[in-house]
Amino acid sequence: MPWLQEADCALLKSWLQNTSVPSITSAVDGKIYWCNKAFEEMIGYSEYELTLGQGGRGTSWYQLSVSDDSLEADKKMTEELMAGRRVEYTCRKRYIPKNQNPIWVELHVMRWPREGTDVHCFLVIILPLHQETNYSTQIIMDQIKLLRENQEIILKESTRGNIETLAISLARIINANPKPAAMVFLFILAMLLGSELLRAVETIKKLSGFSVPAVKEP
């Protein structure tokens, strides 16, 4: 690596600062030391807010992360880095941009220095995943969760053949959630109700107050 070894430090700093790949450096406790412009644009917070805001405490990457299993896995992997059992790792998780919905990202995290017992910082590269995929995946996950929470009502009414009552129950659930929820509900209902789905769709359209895509009877 003769060119890299001889490269001017200012050149490398400019590259990191202006690359379109979001990047940060952080402490072992989650404190963010630095971020580049691409990360600021992705997350919606300025470098000052992330590093020195909130009375000098800044905002840790724990606070920027959705608290779920992926965050716990991320924490476990950082423990592996600190213990010297790993030098780097890759994982997927959700970040929470300022005043926006969570987004899926893929992280590559490397400890520095790469060897030894002391870890000075983590060097992190973030790759945002496709936004449409993020949105669709999250809708499906959220609506499957809703269906599981309400499966007793759905199965009970579909077993009885009470389409009107079932449609009313589903309309209430859909009205409390974003409109795209209807697509997931209809897909699953098609398997549950078969030809009776057409009647349920018409009732849901009247009760929900928005247009549900037409479904042709097989």
Q: What is the DSSP string of 41-53?
A: HHHS--HHHHHTT
Q: Between 186 and 108, where is the model more confident?
A: 108
Query: CA–CA separation, 3 vs 15, rounded Å?
Result: 15
Residue 218: per-residue pLDDT? 47
Q: What is the largest CA-CA distance in the chain?
A: 77
Query: CA–CA separation, 106 vs 138, rounded Å?
Result: 16
Residue 54: per-residue pLDDT? 78
Q: Provide mean pLDDT across the span 8-21.
A: 92
Question: Residue 212: which pLDDT band, with cuts at 50, 70 and 90?
Answer: very low
Among residues 163, 93, 164, 162, the alpha carbon closest in space to that of 129 is found at 93
Question: Residue 36: which pLDDT band, with cuts at 50, 70 and 90?
Answer: very high
Q: Provide mean pLDDT across the span 40-58.
A: 92
Does the pTM of the predicted model rise above 0.85?
no
Question: Residue 161: which pLDDT band, with cuts at 50, 70 and 90?
Answer: low
Residue 196: per-residue pLDDT? 53
Residue 120: per-residue pLDDT? 95
Q: Provide mean pLDDT across the span 63-89.
A: 94
Q: Provide mean pLDDT across the span 37-53.
A: 96
Residue 19 φ/ψ, nearest 5 degrees: -65, 155
68 vs 42, 65, 95, 102, 106, CA distance in Å?
A: 21, 9, 11, 12, 15
Query: Amino acid identity, residue 94?
Result: R
Q: Provide mean pLDDT across the span 40-50.
A: 96
Query: Amino acid identity, residue 27?
Result: A
Helix 181-193 / helix 151-160 crossing angle, nearest 10 deg: 40
Among 4-18, 58-72, 137-151, where is mean pLDDT lowest? 137-151
Residue 4: per-residue pLDDT? 81
Q: Between 186 and 25, where is the model more confident?
A: 25
As a dihedral over the C-alpha atoms of residue 35, residue 40, residue 46, residue 50, rounded to 10 degrees, the angle is: -50
